[in-house]
């Protein structure tokens, strides 16, 4: 069972990293903080788990997700670990 949990966590981390690597920056309103968005193109159960973890935000009607500040921090750390420059 622990191997399945480890694999599930790895898939979540790699999915978050893919969202980050394929995201774009937007300024939703003049002077508002920049946000990062990415298209929803991954398994929905993983999306739901990342939303529950506070790493992504979305609505069921949107075709994109917003990467939260916590998600950006974790994705950047994963990028350094998995894809060092």
Q: What is the separation, in whole angstroms, between the first and last Cα of the chain?
A: 34
Closest CA relative to residue 23, chosen from 57, 61, 59: 57
37-81: pLDDT as tens digits: 999 988 889 999 999 999 999 988 999 999 999 999 999 999 999
pLDDT digits (tens, 9 = 90+) for 7-28: 889 999 999 999 999 999 999 8
Where are the chain's structural domains? 2-82
Alpha-carbon dihedral of residues 35, 40, 44, 46, nearest 10 degrees?
-50
Instruction: Find out whether 53 and 67 touch, Cβ atoms under 8 Å.
Output: no
Please name the residue that has the structure tokens 């790895």: 10
CATH number of 2-82: 1.10.10.10
């Amino acid at each position: 069972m622990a191997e399945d949990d480890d694999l599930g966590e790895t898939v979540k981390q790699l999915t978050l990293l893919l969202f980050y690597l394929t995201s774009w920056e937007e300024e939703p309103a003049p002077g508002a903080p920049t946000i990062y968005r990415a298209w929803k193109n991954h398994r929905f159960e993983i999306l739901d788990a990342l939303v529950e973890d506070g790493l992504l935000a979305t609505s069921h009607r949107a075709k994109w997700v917003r990467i939260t500040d916590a998600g950006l921090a974790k994705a950047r750390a994963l990028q350094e670990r998995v894809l060092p420059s």
